[in-house]
Amino acid sequence: MSVKDATPKEASSPFWELLKVQGKLALREPMGLVFGIALPLILLLIFGNIPTFNEPIEGNSFTLFKLYIPILMVTVLIFIGLFGLPIPLLRDREIGWLRRISTTPISPTKLLAAQTVIYLILAAVGYTIVMAGSILIFGVELAFNISGFILALVLATLAMFSLGLLITAVAPSQSTGNGITMALLYPLLFFAGVYVPIQVLPSGLQTAALFTPVGAAVNALNSSMNGSFPSFVSLAVMAAYAAVFGFVAIRYFRWE
């Protein structure tokens, strides 16, 4: 046997190592990446190149394309919240990886935290692609209400990440997790206004949309990107979802 004790080198922190590994895994596992970043980028390029999207809507000063910018940002969040964040965690639990980690001196909570941080970074990259692309490539002019915009973005992110952790917590297996995710995907895309912007829906549906986390997020982002502070309702709805989803997720989380 040639195994000797390692010469003590500078101890690298377990959390930093977990971050590196979860980051590499996220880049190798294309789901979160493709849906979270490639898809909004492609949609951005398509929408940006449809001529009618760039003409001012009748009686308004803004274009349909501009209306889609917050929608695309929330689309990033939907895909990360439904796929990127929970599905690998569900798999890690199902194959016994989380349990394996729990036999070491490190708590699997740290892996959960590292996974969350990695997807926060990916979400930030997704937002940046959508905003920078709209402004730089398509010359959209946005009038940010900075504090409102940051608040809206933070709350939207919290609400959708809490949803992702909630799915991780309650789904007994990866396949049921996939089922839950697929069942939620189309309603969430609809209420975010991906198919048709909320503004063209009947008023009943518009109100209903405002009480979904994604509808509230699009509404709040839209206001803040047009110079005004988001409505109290939209912010409160997102905060409430974040609190409830987060609480239930922590309460019912299982490691095996």
Nearest-angstrom CA–CA distance, 180 and 174: 10
User: Does 7 engage in binding with another protein (CB under 8 A)?
Assistant: yes
Q: Facing residues of 56 across strands? A: 63
Stretch that binds another protein, among 6-14, 176-184, 209-217, 234-242 (CB under 8 A): 6-14
With CB under 8 A as the contact rule, the residue among 14, 53, 199, 253 that binds another protein is: 14
User: Does 4 engage in binding with another protein (CB under 8 A)?
Assistant: yes
Q: CB–CB of 74/185 below 8 Å?
A: no
Stretch that binds another protein, among 19-27, 41-49, 131-139, 225-233 (CB under 8 A): 19-27
Q: Is 56 helix (H, G, I), strand (E, B) or coil?
A: strand
Name the DSSP letter for residue 255. -
Residues 70-99 that bind another protein (CB under 8 A): 88, 91-92, 95-97, 99
Least CB distance to another protein at residue 4 (A): 7
What is the widest separation between alpha-carbon atoms in the chain?
Answer: 81
- Residue closer to another protein, measured from CB, 115 or 234: 115
Least CB distance to another protein at residue 231 (A): 42
If binding means CB under 8 A, how many residues of this protein chain bind another protein? 34
DSSP state letters, 190-251: HHHTSSS-GGGS-HHHHHHHHTSHHHHHHHHHHHHTBTSPPPHHHHHHHHHHHHHHHHHHHH
Tokens of 117: 């941080």
User: Does 175 engage in binding with another protein (CB under 8 A)?
Assistant: no
- Residue closer to another protein, measured from CB, 35 or 245: 35
Name the DSSP letter for residue 61. S
The 33-62 contact track toward another protein, x by CB under 8 A, reads ------------------------------
Q: CB–CB of 111/194 below 8 Å?
A: no
Q: Is 229 helix (H, G, I), strand (E, B) or coil?
A: coil
User: Does 10 engage in binding with another protein (CB under 8 A)?
Assistant: no
Least CB distance to another protein at residue 123 (A): 21
Q: Could you give phi then psi for residue 95, rounded to 5 degrees?
A: -85, 0
With CB under 8 A as the contact rule, the residue among 6, 136, 143, 196 that binds another protein is: 6
Q: Is 143 helix (H, G, I), strand (E, B) or coil?
A: strand
Q: CB–CB of 208/130 below 8 Å?
A: no
Give the interface with another protein as residue ranges (CB under 8 A): 1-8, 11-14, 16-18, 20-21, 24-25, 28-29, 88, 91-92, 95-97, 99-100, 102-106
